[in-house]
Amino acid sequence: MSQPPATMDLRRPADGVGVVDIRGDFTGDAEAALMDAYARACAGGARALVLNFGDLAYMNSSGIGLLVTLLIRVDRRQQRLLACGMSEHYRHIFALTQLDGAIGVFDTEAAALAAAGAP
């Protein structure tokens, strides 16, 4: 039985940085919400986007595919994409799919924000 897609709440903890809190099931159905959050972050002048996976319940391979699509958009705008709050399981998935070479992975939001150059 399908679960509702993940929710994406955008925060702006610092100038130029957007944090997207991902909650729930991150599948292909989350595309609209993810891209909407990204668009709002860009509208707010974000130079870096941090994806907070701390409350992620589930991710399938379609969800990983969304991250590739997002990464291309971020790269085209010369922005940075980072991730935080990932369990070891999801870190392994990032490594298995070789996303960790393109998306900076950090233990905490504070570390991700520091890497993003947030004051």
Site for another protein, rule CB under 8 A? 2-3, 25, 57-62, 65, 68-69, 71-72, 75-76, 87, 89-90, 92-93, 95-99, 101-102
Closer of 92 and 107 to another protein (Cβ): 92
Closer of 101 and 119 to another protein (Cβ): 101
Closer of 12 and 73 to another protein (Cβ): 73
Name the pairing type of β-strands 48-59 and 17-26: parallel
Starting at the edge strand found earlier in the chain, the sheet holding 80-84 runs 7-14, 17-26, 48-59, 80-84, 104-106
CB 74 within 8 A of CB 81: yes
